[in-house]
């Protein structure tokens, strides 16, 4: 297995230790969370009672193949734990997400969970968000051209995400994604406010003040980044669950 895949797998094995019998789980999207879904599939096969709410059609398909019972936010608006990947994580546990295009449902699910845990390989940890990845912004198709103009006015180089056939890529919500190259983002809170003020913008891939713990896979183990504690290295990931209330987390930029 390539190094990076091994790192992803280690992070997801550690995330599986956070899962308790009877939990309702938010299931993220992407190539990292794939390994978490495999762990959940194993748990279900050995009799654990778990239910998942998927963040994308793709994740729902994988979970169904693994016989993980699924439900919806309509039926289960309160989740015990959400586990998801990220494109970038900074040391304050702020994230860029959305390279896989599922950012809106991912944010809704993360905000609905008591705890939000992020699983990444070591290459995803950055000093400043925007260092490596563009910021995905989900927009209503009707207003995407004015939104591009406004985003360019904010200093971004903007590309409309396209499918392999050249047509605009459409999210599970029927929207477009604008990949915005801002470069390093010194003040993500201020930027998010400006983005949400653009009428066609539904949300951005900035996940601010939402993450309780990031599990970072390295070649030889995992490193935990916990809310308010900075980094802590542990070969097996260790215990020690921080208790963070939803209201504390939602003091970020959940509101327009
Ligand atoms: C999808 C996401 C993914 O979680 C993020 O892109 C990370 O994906 P991967 O684990 O494949 O690198 O935000 O919208």
Cα–Cα separations (whole angstroms), residue 242 to 34, 119, 204, 226:
25, 16, 27, 7
CA 247 to ligand 1 centroid distance, Å: 25
> According to the model, what pLDDT value does residue 103 have?
98
- Give counts: helices (H), strands (E), the chain: 7, 14
- 227: its two tokens: 């809310």
Q: What is the arithmetic mean of pLDDT over 154-162?
A: 98
- The answer to which of 7-11, 16-20, 202-206, 240-244 has the lowest mean pLDDT is 240-244
Q: Which residue's structure tokens are 């209330």?
A: 245
With left for phi above 0 and alpha for psi between -120 and 50, is residue 16 left, alpha or beta?
A: alpha
User: What residues are labeled active site?
Assistant: 106
CA 85 to ligand 1 centroid distance, Å: 5
pLDDT in tens, 230-239: 544 343 433 3
Residue 58 in this model has a pLDDT that exceeds 80: yes
Q: Relative to the CA of 84, which ligand 1 atom is closest?
A: 4
Domains and CATH numbers, the chain: 3-126+208-255 (3.40.50.1360), 135-202 (3.30.70.260)
Confidence tier at 98 by pLDDT (50, 70, 90): very high
**What's this model's pTM, rounded to 2 decimal places?**
0.90
What is the Cα–Cα distance from 229 to 227, expressed in whole angstroms? 6
What is the Cα–Cα distance from 36 to 81, expressed in whole angstroms? 13
Residue 210 in this model has a pLDDT that exceeds 50: yes
pLDDT in tens, 64-73: 999 999 999 9
What is the Cα–Cα distance from 103 to 106, expressed in whole angstroms? 5
Q: Relative to the CA of 102, which ligand 1 atom is closest?
A: 14
Q: Relative to the CA of 119, which ligand 1 atom is closest?
A: 10
- If residue 52 lies in a helix (H) or strand (E), which one and from where to where? strand 51-54
Enumerate residues lining ligand 1, CB below 6 A: 28-32, 84-87, 97-103, 106
> According to the model, what pLDDT value does residue 228 have?
76
> According to the model, what pLDDT value does residue 1 have?
66
Q: Which residue's structure tokens are 């983005």?
A: 195
- Give the residue, out of 30, 62, 124, 137, with the most ligand 1 atoms within 8 A of its beta carbon, to mutate for a pocket test: 30
CA 6 to ligand 1 centroid distance, Å: 16
> According to the model, what pLDDT value does residue 227 have?
87
């Amino acid at each position: 297995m390539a190094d990076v895949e091994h790192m992803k797998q280690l992070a997801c094995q550690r995330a599986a230790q956070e899962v308790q019998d009877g939990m309702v789980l938010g299931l993220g999207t992407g190539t990292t969370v794939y390994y978490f879904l495999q762990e959940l599939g194993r748990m279900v096969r050995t009799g654990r009672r778990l239910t998942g709410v998927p963040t994308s059609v793709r994740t729902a398909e994988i979970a169904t193949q693994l016989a993980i019972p699924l439900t919806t936010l309509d039926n289960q608006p309160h989740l015990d734990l959400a586990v998801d990947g990220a494109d970038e994580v900074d040391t304050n546990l702020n994230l860029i997400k959305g390279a896989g295009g599922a950012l809106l449902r991912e944010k809704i699910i993360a905000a609905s969970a008591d705890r939000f845990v992020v699983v990444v390989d070591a290459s995803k940890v950055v000093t400043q968000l925007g260092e490596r990845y563009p910021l995905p912004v989900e927009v209503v198709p009707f207003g995407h051209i004015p939104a591009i103009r406004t985003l360019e006015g904010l200093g971004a180089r903007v590309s409309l995400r396209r499918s392999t056939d050249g047509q605009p890529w459409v999210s599970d919500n029927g929207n477009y994604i604008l990949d915005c190259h801002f470069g390093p983002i010194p003040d993500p809170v201020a930027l998010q406010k400006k983005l949400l003020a653009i009428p066609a913008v539904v949300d951005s891939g900035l996940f601010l003040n939402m993450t309780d713990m990031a599990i970072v896979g390295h070649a030889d183990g995992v490193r935990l980044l916990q809310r308010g504690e900075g980094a802590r290295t542990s070969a097996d990931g260790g215990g020690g669950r921080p208790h963070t209330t939803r209201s504390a987390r939602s003091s970020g930029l959940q509101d327009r």
